[in-house]
Structure 1
Amino acid sequence: MVRLSVLMPCLDAGHHLAPALDSVLGQLGRDDELVVQDARSADGSAELLDRLAAGDPRLRVVHERDEGQSDALNRALDRARGDFILWANADDLLLPGALDAVRAAVEPRTEVAVGGWQLVDGDGGLLRESPAERLDRGQLLLRGCYAFSGALAVDRQFLHSRGGFAADLHYVMDFDLMLRLADADQVVVPAPLAALREIVQDGEVAGIHLEGPFISKARCGAHDPETLLEPDTGTVEKLLRAGQGAIRMVTIAPELHGGVKAVRQLAESGVIAAIGHTDGVEEQLLPAIDAGASVATHLFNGMRPLHHREPGPVGALLDDERITIELICDLVHLHPTVVRLAAKHAGRNRTVLITDAMSATDAADGRYTLGRLEVDVHDGVATLADNGSLAGSTLTMDTAFRNLVGGAKLGILDAVHATSQRPAELLGIAGHTGMLCTGYVADIVVLDQNLRPSKVLRRGEWVAEVGTATLST
């Protein structure tokens, strides 16, 4: 097991220090450490550090004057004993699962692990975020520093060999260090899955769907093409290990090198392998279906279109009885007639409705971000600001239900099956949810005569009520 040392310079950190320490200590393993270089704080920070260190041997504190942040980090680096070094300011918070993600990502040859970061305000509101991306000298010179404290883990010996934290640079330390690390053997750390994993474990959601990074750049839609990868056994295994059983579905473009092998690996691991964001032709998709792929990720969208001389993904997936098709039923991504044709051909046992919703759902029109990409929402339709491509949706499931009935002209039982029973069957949880049965979880949405939500029953308790609709008994 790789040992981690987190370095933290501190000087009068005030109320920021306690949550910063908690965010690190809560993730440290038994053999990891937090090394704090305190420049003789006079605001109570020193006393807090000593009190915590007395009860936790993983917290190592030194009180001595230094020449600034870089010097403090170099002093802490000289005391560090871990295999990999991370550093965090005394007002930084490590995202939940960050250290687990580092452990899962690093390999014996890894010199630098690069993660993402978020900038939040004093109330915890998200101001800006950046996904993990490799350090590149050209990009650094063009864009400036784009990886900061808490987002990097560096092999300790390698960091020493590159001169540590360059104590004479002070405020440009981060930029200088990024340039010196740009030619290292790097690994990009997947975004921490721990927060989502906890929600899955608490039963709030049924699982995590990784829609990428193993998708086609030619059909990536609103996904950042710079973050996409070809699948390989090691990377797939790291993702599954980081998910600790919470990952239920992974979307793959099977025409990518290693795509069919990755489909088989996922299926054998008990994870649903879905085909989507693919530019493949039928001959490239059929081996993936034979290898265990069982879902079409939002059929029609993000894939080569149907052609009368080459059916492509749409024809291959829609016509194969082993594939359950997903449909984004906002009547923007798909015309009502297309929804009806696909759902009728697939039938109830192979059709599920999805929302593909992004963060602007149930919010006002305006400018939003999706990873590093800017998204404009107008009249509820989300599109990329730079090229107008659809960028997910603002659809809610009750609207998808109404659209299937009122727009695509299918029956209410079809809609119930596509939004409840079949999704539960697909995810392997139909033994306790997805239907109105004795002993099942009492999660129920009551619709009025216009198919709009009237009441919501969550785990047997009414949590919302609109109108006068009641459950019949």
Structure 2
Amino acid sequence: MLESQRLSWDGTGRIVSIEPEATASPRPLLLPGLADVHNHGGAGHSFPTSDLEGCRAAALHHRAYGTTTLLTSTVSAPAEVLLPRLELLAQLAQEGLSAGIHAEGPFIAAVRCGAQDPSAIVDGDPGLFREMIAAAGGHLRAVTFAPETAHARELVDLCAANDVVVSLGHTDADAQATTAIIDYAVAAGARVSATHLCNAMPPLHHRAPGPVAALLRAAMAGRATVELVADGVHLDDELVAFVADAAGPDAVSFVSDAMGAAGQADGAYMLGALEVVVAQGVARLRTADGSPGAIAGGTSRVIDQVRRQVRAGWDLGAAVRAATSGHRLLGLRDRGELRVGARADVVATDSNLYPLRTWVGGVDCTPSDLQAGDPERRGS
């Protein structure tokens, strides 16, 4: 992050100089573009269900708010729905609007389905996974599956062979089973992450530490990255701080887990085939009796989580590292930091970390409403 410095890039979209700039007036704070490796949509549109134009709008919404590297996330769905969806989302990657696709399911544990459709969950199926990889046309970058699913090691082998991150989650596995799959994945040369750590998995218990302990230990050893939805809804801020202190911010990846309601008003939405109600910014599955359903994705953006955690006491540099570590998880070494030679993915914010402008590869991607002042913060 830079303050009171001038950053320049050339026609190739690479940073060529960073120089001090003397100024008496307040200057925007410059941050590296943020990464979100788990995102189901925004601006009223859903990556699992919207048409191509709607998916473009969702991707551009998050880009305008500083997420310059995005994985578009699916949900568990029957093959006849999932495979065409992967083909559609591959078009976003081909257009440069995403860094690829994250398939959340369908090889997960039904007892930990969360906001996934239980009828669409299936046992690990290497044949179906090969079809998913093919449908994504080389753009499948991560897949969430449960360590205890059938053929888990074959799924890992396919991930290692196709540069797909092994993201473990929606699981009821114990610590030993989780550690065994982590060990196998690391030995196979696959990158490993935890899908929204603590959510959709058994809670940490002193006699049954479960997948949380196994994944956290792996992160502390530099063998895994743990996703944290650091929005104050999915995780308490104290838990976020604890995980970051234990594993270090470079092993933590802030993710939005956003659904269509991100950037929108409260109301009724869909997440895949499931109905969702958003009230006071919290998305939950609709239930027949009106009682609170399972949390159904997020409504924040990654920059919102950076701002929240800084207000909670985080050092800004650490928060930015947690919001850019997704680049390293994906092997994108040319972005996620402001240095000469890096791609000019840059976010300018005010002193309160509200975004003002976003550049991707040196190209200004800021919509007119943000250039005129973010309506969410007018009068604040």
TM-score, with structure 2 as normaliser: 0.71
Instruction: Name 2:300's counterpart in structure 1.
Output: 395
Would the alpha carbon gap of residues 318 and 265 (structure 1) be closer, same or farther in structure 2, given more than 3 Å must change?
A: same
309 and 466 in structure 1: CA distance in 2 versus 1, 3 angstrom threshold: farther
Q: Is the 8 A contact 1:117 1:132 kept in 2?
A: no
Deviation of 1:463 after TM superposition, in Å, equals 3.9
Equivalence map 1:48-67=2 (5 Å): none
Cα distance change, pair 315–455 in 1 and its aligned pair in 2 (3 A): same
Q: Residue 201 of structure 2 aligns with which residue?
A: 303
| Amino acid across the alignment from 1:271 | V
- Superposition pairs of residues 234-273 of structure 1, within 5 angstroms: 234-273=127-166
Could you report, residue by residue, the CA deviation over 1:61-112 in whole angstroms, capped at 9, with x for unpaired residues?
xxxxxxxxxxxxxxxxxxxxxxxxxxxxxxxxxxxxxxxxxxxxxxxxxxxx
The alpha-carbon distance between structure 1 residues 189 and 383, as it changes in their structure 2 partners (threshold 3 A), is closer
CA distance in 1, matches of 2:196, 2:245: 16
Q: Is the counterpart of residue 355 in structure 1 residue 256 in structure 2?
A: yes
Provide the rounded CA distance (Å) in 2 between the counterparts of 1:315 and 1:287.
Answer: 13
1:422-461 to structure 2, matched below 5 A, reads 422-430=325-333, 432-461=334-363
Could you say if the C-alpha distance between residues 390 and 117 of structure 1 is closer, same or farther in structure 2, counting changes exceeding 3 Å? Answer: closer
Are the counterparts in 2 of residues 230 and 259 from structure 1 also a CA contact under 8 Å? no
Aligned residue type for 1:363: Q
Residue 138 of structure 1 corresponds to which residue in structure 2? none
Contact 1:219 1:277 (C-alpha < 8 Å) held by counterparts: yes
Q: C-alpha deviations, 1:208-239, integer Å up to 9, x for none?
A: 00010011101110000001111122111111
SS of equivalent to 1:364: coil
Q: Report the number of matched residues.
A: 290
> Do 1:252 and 1:263's aligned partners in 2 also have CA atoms closer than 8 Å?
no
Q: Which amino acid aligns with 2:197?
A: L
Cα pair distance change 1:189/1:466, threshold 3 Å: closer
Partner of 2:242: 341
Distance in 1 separating the partners of 2:177 and 2:124: 15
Whether 1:331 aligns to 2:232 is yes
**Change in CA separation of 1:397 and 1:349 when aligned onto 2, cut-off 3 Å:** closer
Which amino acid in 2 is paired with 1:405? Answer: V
Q: Distance in 2 between matches of 1:119 and 1:456?
A: 25
CA distance in 2, matches of 1:189, 1:265: 18
**What SS does structure 1 have at the residue aligned with 2:116?**
coil
- How far the C-alpha of 1:428 sits from its partner, in A, is 1.0
SS, match of residue 190 in structure 1: helix
In structure 2, the CA distance between the partners of 1:117 and 1:397, relative to structure 1 (3 Å rule), is closer
Alignment gaps of 5+ in structure 2: 1-47, 53-75, 186-190, 375-380
After TM superposition, the structure 1 = structure 2 runs for residues 60-459 of structure 1, keeping only pairs within 5 Å, are 133=78, 190-292=83-185, 294-320=192-218, 321=221, 322-386=223-287, 387-407=292-312, 409-420=313-324, 422-430=325-333, 432-459=334-361
Moved more, 440-449 or 188-197: 188-197
Cα distance in 2 for residues equivalent to 1:466 and 1:414: 30
1:369-395 per-residue CA deviation (whole Å, 9 max, x = no partner) reads 112211000111100011511000101
Distance 2:230 2:215 in 1: 18
What is the aligned-residue RMSD (CA, Å)?
2.6
Change beyond 3 A, Cα 1:411–1:346: same
Residues 126-169 of structure 1 show CA distances to partners (whole Å, capped at 9, x for unaligned) of xxxxx9659xxxxxxxxxxxxxxxxxxxxxxxxxxxxxxxxxxx
Aligned equivalents of 2:323 and 2:92: distance in 1? Answer: 21
What is the SS of the residue equivalent to 2:226?
A: strand
**Equivalents in 1 of 2:321, 2:259: separation in Å?**
24
Q: Does the 8 Å contact 2:77/2:121 carry over to 1?
A: no
Q: Answer yes or no: is the 8 Å Cα contact 1:368–1:377 preserved in 2.
A: yes
Judge conservation of contact 2:84–2:135 (CA < 8 Å) in 1: no
Amino acid at match of 2:177: Q
Distance 1:333 1:189 in 2: 26
What is the rounded CA distance, in whole Å, between the counterparts of 2:238 and 2:101 in structure 1?
31
For the residue of structure 1 that corresponds to 2:348, the secondary structure is: strand
Matched AA of 1:459:
G
Post-superposition offset of 1:195: 2.0
Which one-letter code corresponds to 2:250 in the other structure?
Answer: N
Partner amino acid for 1:264?
A: D
Query: Aligned equivalents of 2:81 and 2:253: distance in 1?
Result: 33
Aligned-partner Cα distance in 1 for 2:106–2:77 = 12
Counterpart of 2:326, as a letter, is: P
Query: Which one-letter code corresponds to 1:361 in the other structure?
Result: A
Return the offset for 1:413: 0.7
- Residues 118 and 311 (structure 1 numbering): CA distance in 2 closer, same or farther, change over 3 Å? closer
**Gapped runs of 5+ residues in structure 1?**
1-115, 121-130, 135-186, 469-473
Classify 1:294/1:119 alpha carbon distance in 2 versus 1 (closer, same or farther; 3 Å).
closer
CA distance in 1, matches of 2:141, 2:353: 30
